[in-house]
A = this chain, B = another copy of it.
Amino acid sequence: MIDFELSPEIAAMRDQLHMLAEHAMRPIAREYDEREHEKPWDFINMMWQLSKSSGIGPGAAKDGKDKAPERDRNLRTVVAVEELSWGDAGLYLSIPGPGLGGAAVMAVGTPDQKQRFLSRFKDDKPVWSAMAITEPGAGSDSAAIQTTAVRDGDHWVLNGTKIFCTSGLMAGDATKSNGFVVVWATIDRSAGRAGIKSFIVDAGTPGMTVAKCEDKLGIRASDTATLIFEDCRVPLDNILGSPEVPKTSEGFKGVMATFDATRPIVAASAIGVGRAALDFVRDELKKQGVEIRYGVGPRKLTAIERDFMDMETQLQAARLLTWRAAWMMDQGQKNNLEASMAKAKAGLVVTQVTQKAVEMLGPLGYSRELLLEKWMRDAKINDIFEGTQQINMMIIARRILGYSSKELS
């Protein structure tokens, strides 16, 4: 039966996280935007303790002994991520925990792999994981990956360069954490997509170097690393999924399936940023005595009222699409189409909403005295990572048309 109300447990978690976002994230948001490449260690340690003790937040233990009921894990996650991103998207991304790499292990890892890697998220010290997909020459074209994994006895040997790894520094540098990086590489270039596999590389594995952290437009509290793999050897059983190269591209689909879980998360983060801007604008308008009049005839609306209404409706549309995609995954339903819808819509909406919000507050909106301009900068990443707007529209189109990636590219 249709129901749009969060369960009391999720609502309570959301309220807790809201307090945290307001009191632990907002006050340091500007600081770690300006101190790019520095880490908010106090915040990180606090979040680590919190997730271990209370089980709240996206970093909460997810080793199968999750305190949260399994049946709403994805919904729980998107609600949590929205709230934390409302606090600050860059800080949210810097929170230790399973992240995208962990999500991949959780989605397709063997019981042994889950044990070996996910149990770390109960360590005393913060642990990060990261996902390394994009390459300098490949961009959105995941199938064109050049990084190779060659079997050599008991090891896979990785060679290649990965860019744009969120938390790649924290997950890959052993001095930062006992983390790991999930790396996409091809074991048979001639097989195209079917040859692409993912490999778990422990932080500090010889041959893996964090070469650089990017200077970015926004989300500056989070590192975006370049990782170089030079004869980097990982144990045979660090491959995720089967080492076989299937005849079809089913294997690649398996790898791509992690996106079905992560895209709603990115969408939720986008919505959190957008809501931050919307809440701020609403409060400011209220202070100025501007009332949003729901229900009046269109001729009576001011331009500002209409802008505000459009913004809030767009955000709510994105939120509902996101909740649906997460809920479907919780139900065990395929959500590939719906996950891309959520991501595409939320990425676009938050870009537009934050850009509009900056404009609506006039001279002050453009100033670094307020956080609005930062939210606009942070927002844009959501239109890009975990598949650009265009990539997600492509996936939606393929699904609704029943086309393969060859038929529509």
Which residues of A pack against B, CB within 8 Å? 297-299, 301-306, 359, 362
Contact = CB atoms under 8 A, between A and B. Distances in A.
A359 B304 CA distance: 19
Contacts of A362: 297-299
A298 B307 CA distance: 12
A-B CB proximity, top 3 nearest: A301-B303, A303-B306, A303-B303
Contacts of A299: 304, 362
A306 B298 CA distance: 13
Nearest to A298: B303
Given A297-B362, A298-B303, A299-B304, 8 more contacts: A298-B359, A298-B362, A299-B362, A301-B302, A301-B303, A302-B303, A303-B303, A303-B305
A306 B299 CA distance: 12
A101 B299 CA distance: 46
Contacts of A305: 303
Contacts of A304: 299
User: Which of A303, A304, A359, A362 neighbours the largest number of chain B CB atoms within 10 Å of its CB?
Assistant: A303
Contacts of A303: 298, 301-303, 305-306
A305 B297 CA distance: 15
13 contacts: A297-B362, A298-B303, A298-B359, A298-B362, A299-B304, A299-B362, A301-B302, A301-B303, A302-B302, A302-B303, A303-B303, A303-B305, A303-B306
Nearest to A302: B302
A306 to B, nearest CB: 4
Contacts of A359: 298
A298 B303 CA distance: 8
A306 B359 CA distance: 15
A71 B20 CA distance: 72
Contacts of A306: 303
A392 to B, nearest CB: 21
Contacts of A301: 302-303
A404 B303 CA distance: 44
A298 B359 CA distance: 9
A299 B303 CA distance: 7
Nearest to A359: B298
A358 to B, nearest CB: 12
A297 B303 CA distance: 11
A155 to B, nearest CB: 44
Contacts of A302: 301-303
A136 B298 CA distance: 43
A372 to B, nearest CB: 16
Contacts of A298: 303, 359, 362
